Chains A and B, each alone.
Chain A
């Protein structure tokens, strides 16, 4: 039971590369925090700094009211689940889980109780005598979880624990991890690059980009009010449509709103907020599109179109759509034909406006 607080945490490698550029956030007791971002954004480095596997250049990491900057990983009272599981290949499942307890000189009967209990929870009871190589990917993943929970640590750290599993198992394990965390009520920090995993697991979501925090908050708030165009295009699949607008376009679109006046900016609309309709919505936006491609996934269909009125400006962010392309998500499988001209409309309350550099959200 502990909270984790990061205060202006930085990491500079010898040679001058700044991997972490000043990060502040707090994970409350029993909360599930997810660090999400593209590869190379520093999320794994940050997690390893919390674990004590990487040194901290400056700032403080506080676990349960104790600054742990100089404390060895073993003494931080944390447990970590690695991406490749990092099981001890020469030990049985039982010994893999008991190893950490034996190192702490826990009496054998107590070790046995804890390992059996963990094995029961994770449905590993029949596999305790097996070696890791005799297990499937999902079972290895559960052993790694077991090794973390027998210790009853203050904090669980997960470093992309599901990325080596196939899609179906990943969803099943995701639900398992969340259930287990709720049940044990242990503060957790979880690193992933998968925005869907991030959205479904997190109590607090931390979106990171090139060593900085882009936005922190409740996943739904982040989805509904992304703070930057980076967050807007990273969270949500397919990504939010981003369209650079000139100052005069903004003035005409958002007439009467003083906060949106005067400057060029970027307009964002989520694919699911569009409706294909011949009628415009008062105060909303209407785009004339030529259908370029259709993706049918059963329950929904994605329509890829090009805007007829090309709007110039602003370089694209990573992950952003090429200028001029708009994705529209429509329910069901009935879709317009390729080459057809359609009108996609979205109401005013579903429009997002960002500053021209994409770093700032303009509230409407």
Chain B
């Protein structure tokens, strides 16, 4: 049994200690979120001078837009690819780094670096590397007979933002997978070897199930990442284009509100987005987490 320390000195102390965290959460989450909800029921002129209450009109208008469904689909494709690929590749790298190799510490250090790069900077990097006329890697791609042009071709643009987002997220996932792998007792793996399981079978029947709490945690974090944090990458690499091919839901919030001046519609979108992410996380906790407990 874990015992918790009890302090009798002051009744206010615990609240005082919790206050900074609570204030930050309130100021940076609850307040803006509630403002967004409020705003989504209003219509405002482009200068922000007049606003009137319009009820659910913003939502009606939003769901009547074919572009909005397209953004949903784009988000689905984008998030599945980014979360899936970054988890898969990170797991592969982590299993390799977990082996007793001489260069493993250096390898681990290099693996973690991309995480220190700001999303927009990462986006700019990839933008230049794959720029159709300036990019160092665009020419070889053309040489291979591929008409590479992410500025015009929607699929190419999607590939490019997915690559950038995956590249950045691998570092984070790698760290957690590696920690997860290292927490599996070596003797359990050895017992598996004596029990006649080859390396692949050991991985799928012992290592992977034991990693499932880590995988679950990363799944939640990655979904939130692709829904929100990839904004900077998309903005820097494609700006949502070409022709909206890489406009995800979060980018559309920005595009409609900030660039299009439709603040009410943009607020309605962020509320929808918030509801989706809350629902996704709730579903993950309710159904997936139950299976990963052992």
Which residues of A are in contact with B by a Cβ distance under 8 Å?
Answer: 51-53, 72-74, 78-80, 82-84, 86-90, 99-100, 103-104, 131, 133, 147, 151
Contact = CB atoms under 8 A, between A and B. Distances in A.
Interface string B176-209: 0000000001011011111111100100011001
Tell me if A's interface is mostly helix, strand, loop or mixed: loop
Given A84-B185, A86-B188, A89-B210, A131 B194 contact: no
A357 to B, nearest CB: 39
Contact of B194 (A51, A87, A133): A51
B194 A90 contact: no
Contact of B196 (A51, A86, A88, A100): A100
A74 B187 contact: no
Contacts of B193: 53, 72-74
A86 B191 contact: yes
A103 B199 CA distance: 12
By Cβ-Cβ distance, the 9 closest A-B pairs, closest first, are: A100-B195, A86-B187, A90-B294, A103-B196, A74-B196, A86-B191, A90-B209, A82-B187, A73-B194
Interface of B: 185, 187-188, 190-198, 201, 205-206, 209-210, 212, 294
A249 B236 CA distance: 93
A70 to B, nearest CB: 15
Contacts of B206: 88
B185 A103 contact: no
A326 B57 CA distance: 97
Contacts of A133: 294
Contact of A90 (B190, B191, B198, B210): B210
A52 B195 CA distance: 12
B194 A79 contact: yes
15 contacts: A53-B194, A72-B193, A73-B190, A74-B196, A86-B190, A88-B191, A88-B192, A89-B294, A90-B210, A99-B192, A99-B205, A103-B196, A131-B294, A133-B294, A147-B191
A104 to B, nearest CB: 5
Given A86-B185, A100-B194, 16 more contacts: A51-B190, A53-B193, A53-B194, A73-B193, A73-B194, A74-B197, A82-B187, A82-B191, A84-B187, A86-B190, A87-B188, A88-B191, A89-B210, A90-B294, A99-B197, A100-B196
B221 to A, nearest CB: 22
A79 B195 CA distance: 8
A328 B191 CA distance: 46
B265 to A, nearest CB: 48
A191 to B, nearest CB: 14
B187 A78 contact: no
Contacts of A73: 190, 193-194
A121 B167 CA distance: 55
Contact of A104 (B188, B191, B196, B294): B196
A103 B194 contact: no
Contacts of B210: 89-90
A131 B190 CA distance: 20
A123 to B, nearest CB: 22
Contacts of B194: 51-53, 73-74, 78-80, 100
Contacts of A52: 194
Contacts of B201: 103
B163 to A, nearest CB: 34
A104 B198 CA distance: 11
B191 A80 contact: yes
B189 to A, nearest CB: 9
Nearest to A84: B187
Contacts of A88: 188, 191-192, 206
Contacts of B195: 74, 99-100, 103, 147, 151
A87 B190 CA distance: 11
B190 A82 contact: yes
Contacts of A51: 190, 194
A77 to B, nearest CB: 10
B15 to A, nearest CB: 36
Nearest to B202: A103
A90 to B, nearest CB: 4
Contacts of B198: 74
B192 to A, nearest CB: 8
Q: Counting chain A CB atoms within 10 Å of each CB, which of B190, B195, B206 scores highest?
A: B195
